[in-house]
Amino acid sequence: MNQLNLLWDYQTADIEVENISKEIKRSPNRQQLVKYRDSLLSLQKNLARIEDEVLAMQDRLEALSDAVKMTENQIQGIQEKLQAKEPENTEETERYIADVKRLINNLNDYEAEIKRIRTDSNEREKMQRDVKLRAARTKKEFDKLKEVYDAEFQQMNERLNAAKAVADERAKPLSQAYLDKYQTIKRHSFPPLAKMIGSQCTGCNMSLPSGVVKDVQSGKEVECETCGRLLVYSE
Ligand SMILES: [Zn+2]
């Protein structure tokens, strides 16, 4: 057998390797697992975002609680001042009243905001629970399917390794130059070798010039001008 025919046999084994690899990648179980994993990742992202929001709310609540304390102290300060010494005139009284009114308004604003944040925060906690529940369910489904897929994968992987072993064996009598050529063509056309039947390349179904046909028939190494595949003569 010449190198070209040996390379043809190698290609047959290589096609089997590619087919099994594709089968592994296209496995519905594997694709479902990828979906589960993606949805788990997005749930985790969601959870992290909610946690950040809750943290920001807690910070704001602390700041508001400090502001409330400060304002209450200010009001108390004014009360103490008034108890120690009564205002001397109406103007002073009005100033005190205005100050206290302003401070009470501030207090009301703070309390309204605190209430709003508490409501939001409760909502976030409910969301957190929901997301966690969904994540736990998805993880359970993932684990269940993973077991099934692992067994399936082991089987397919054994087939793949057997096919690879056949390909490796068939590569042994081939020169490195031929193997390199095969790999180079494989990058743009698969399978890289095509039989020539009559004057046609079976890789792309184009007719070949008579000069090329003769070269292929005489066993020369010729690539199809259209698809770049290495042509193998077939009677
Ligand atoms: Zn062709």
Residue 1 has pLDDT above 90, yes or no: no
Model pTM score: 0.68
Distance 201 CA to ligand 1 centre (A): 5
Q: What is the dihedral of CA 8, 11, 16, 18, to 10 degrees?
A: -160
State pLDDT tens for residues 2-14: 889 999 999 999 9
State pLDDT tens for residues 121-177: 999 999 999 999 999 999 999 999 999 999 999 999 999 999 999 999 999 999 999
> CA distances (Å), 232 to each of 40, 82, 179, 191, 217, in order?
50, 109, 15, 12, 8
pLDDT for the residue numbered 234: 82
Residue 75, class by beta-carbon neighbours within 10 Å (0-12 exposed, 13-18 middle, 19+ buried)?
middle
Distance 32 CA to ligand 1 centre (A): 38
State pLDDT tens for residues 184-228: 999 999 999 999 999 999 999 999 999 999 999 998 999 999 999
Please state the domain extents for the chain.
Answer: 12-174, 178-233
| Average pLDDT score over residue span 46-55 | 96
| 74's tokens | 């200010």
- Average pLDDT of the chain to the nearest whole number: 96
Of 208, 207, 231, the C-alpha closest to 221 is: 231
pLDDT for the residue numbered 127: 96
Distance 232 CA to ligand 1 centre (A): 11
pLDDT band at 27 (very low <50, low <70, confident <90, very high): very high
pLDDT for the residue numbered 235: 73
pLDDT over 70, % of the chain:
100
pLDDT over 90, % of the chain:
96
Candidates 1.10.287.1490, 1.10.10.10, 1.10.260.40, 1.10.3720.10; correct CATH number of 12-174?
Answer: 1.10.287.1490
Distance 208 CA to ligand 1 centre (A): 8
The structure tokens 């300060």 sit at 77
Distance CA 177, CA 188 (A): 18
Distance 14 CA to ligand 1 centre (A): 19
Sheet strands side by side (includes 230-233)? 200-201, 193-197, 230-233
Whether the link from the prior residue into 87 is cis, omega within 30° of 0, is no
